[in-house]
Amino acid sequence: MDDHVVEPPGVWAERLPSSHQGTGPRIVRAPVRDISFVGGKFTAVPGEPGDPGEPVDWWFYEELRRPLIRLDASVGHDREDVTVTGTTYDWMRPGAWQVKPRLEDMDLNWIEASLCFPTFPRFCGQTFLEATDHQLALLCVRAYNDWMIDEWCGDSGGRLIPLCLVPLWDAGLAAAEVYRNAARGCRAVCFSEIPPFLGLPSVHDRDRYWDPFFAACDDTGTVINMHIGSSSKMPSTSADAPPAVGSTLTFANACYSMVDWLMCGAFVRFPQLKVAYSEGQIGWIPYVLERADVVWRENRAWGGVADQVPVPPSELFRGHVYGCFFDDAHGVRSLEEIGVDNVTYESDYPHSDSTWPHTRDVAEKQMAGLSDEAVRKVVRGNAIKMLALDFD
């Protein structure tokens, strides 16, 4: 389950109190003075009026300046034009940020329903976590969720599935936001794959910092969705490594994160809790489960998890974890080892890696050796079960 939405210009401007209009997220058109993406780090600096270069659309929020870039929404464009370059809403395919064109593009791609991660807030709301004014940030989180549920998904006839944010800086507020959105039918929430990379407690925290949030998700049937990059740190090997290195290793943080979850005891304390790894692909999962079981069994005297993980990690995986993929032929060949009930399919629209508009073709080619029942589970049934969707 993984697609994306580029937030329209008015998401926050139309919802925040007038007193916050000058500091809340808003679109400003300006040229680009500098932009780079090296060693997994993205940097952008806006120019001043009259500076050379074509103006692009920027999000201004507090002191943050973040341009729309072509990588945000590159479907429909030649690969040679998909660069780390500032852009405007006009350059993007309208389905990147408008409901009706999105549904039309889903029809073209044989997509019945879609779960969309944010863009400006980043994959789990890091933008608001890093803000100076957390009172304003909380209003921004709630405004985003209101827009997500009421407009983006509310106008889609049930085909766009709500995925909400929480205020990561306060687990109690995060729990309250889960309950607020669950009461409106939302059963999916964004979270960081590795919270300590954001300066937050880990899922192993001895004081169980995250338990109020986990309890709310467990109680409401809300799935915790972790996208690659949701720790604000993409895997790379050095500061001067080209982007291709990190792009090849995008699955790695999902791998680390899944081991964290299997070894932290949360699935024991919260038996209905479910997590999903969006865009993490799945081919790596069998070995990690095999190794985790060996460590759990052979290293129990010193591994530090004997008291809180009473069953093999692979058993916890079967009942609590979903892997998600859009182009992983090796993973499909390993489906029996992974578990046919633990995998969902995605298209990554409108990002540069997206299989749109050929998602069905890719799926048919890679899943040609699967049974009809297995295909139905992977492309539809598992997602319906995971999110408790009201689909036939």
Q: Which of 377, 346, 376, 368 shows the shortest CA–CA distance to 114?
A: 346
Residue 39 has pLDDT above 90, yes or no: no
The answer to whether 376 touches 343, Cβ cutoff 8 Å, is no
Q: How many residues does the chain have?
A: 392
Where is 14: in which H helix or E strand? none
CB atoms within 10 A of CB 7: 21
First-last CA distance in the chain: 18
Task: Tell me the pLDDT tens digit for each residue of 43-66.
Answer: 999 998 788 889 999 999 999 999
Q: How far is Cα of residue 40 from the mean position of the Cα atoms in its chain? A: 17
Between CA 130 and CA 150 the distance in angstroms is 26
What pLDDT score does 112 carry? 96
C-alpha distance from residue 74 to each of 51, 116, 121, 216, 351 (Å) = 26, 16, 19, 36, 6
β-partners of residue 12 are none
What pLDDT score does 216 carry? 98
pTM of the model: 0.95
The answer to whether 251 touches 305, Cβ cutoff 8 Å, is no
Task: Tell me the pLDDT tens digit for each residue of 191-228.
Answer: 999 999 999 999 999 999 999 999 999 999 999 999 99
Residue 246 has pLDDT above 90, yes or no: no
The answer to whether 136 touches 24, Cβ cutoff 8 Å, is yes
| Beta carbons within 8 Å of 261's beta carbon, 6+ residues apart | 203, 267, 275, 320, 321
Write down the number of H helices and E strands in the chain: 16, 13
Token code pair at residue 245: 């290195």
Q: Which of 274, 191, 278 shows the shortest CA–CA distance to 227?
A: 278
Task: Tell me the pLDDT tens digit for each residue of 266-311.
Answer: 999 999 999 999 999 999 999 999 999 999 999 988 999 999 999 9
Between CA 89 and CA 6 the distance in angstroms is 9
Between CA 39 and CA 334 the distance in angstroms is 31
| Beta carbons within 8 Å of 56's beta carbon, 6+ residues apart | 29, 30, 31, 32, 67, 68, 86, 87, 88
Residue 347 has pLDDT above 80, yes or no: yes
CB atoms within 10 A of CB 252: 17
Task: Tell me the pLDDT tens digit for each residue of 101-158.
Answer: 999 999 999 999 999 999 999 999 999 999 999 999 999 999 999 999 999 999 899 9
β-partners of residue 35 are 44
pLDDT band of 239, cuts 50, 70, 90: confident
Write down the residue that tokens 């109690």 correspond to.
Answer: 172
CB atoms within 10 A of CB 132: 10
The answer to whether 94 touches 101, Cβ cutoff 8 Å, is yes
The answer to whether 79 touches 62, Cβ cutoff 8 Å, is no
What amino acid occupies position 215?
Answer: A
What pLDDT score does 243 carry? 82
Between CA 21 and CA 372 the distance in angstroms is 53
The answer to whether 113 touches 125, Cβ cutoff 8 Å, is no
Between CA 233 and CA 226 the distance in angstroms is 13
Q: How far is Cα of residue 149 from the mean position of the Cα atoms in its chain? A: 17
**What stretches of the chain show up as alpha helix (H) in DSSP?**
10-13, 99-108, 126-129, 134-147, 171-182, 211-220, 243-248, 252-263, 266-269, 285-298, 313-320, 329-333, 335-338, 359-366, 372-376, 382-387
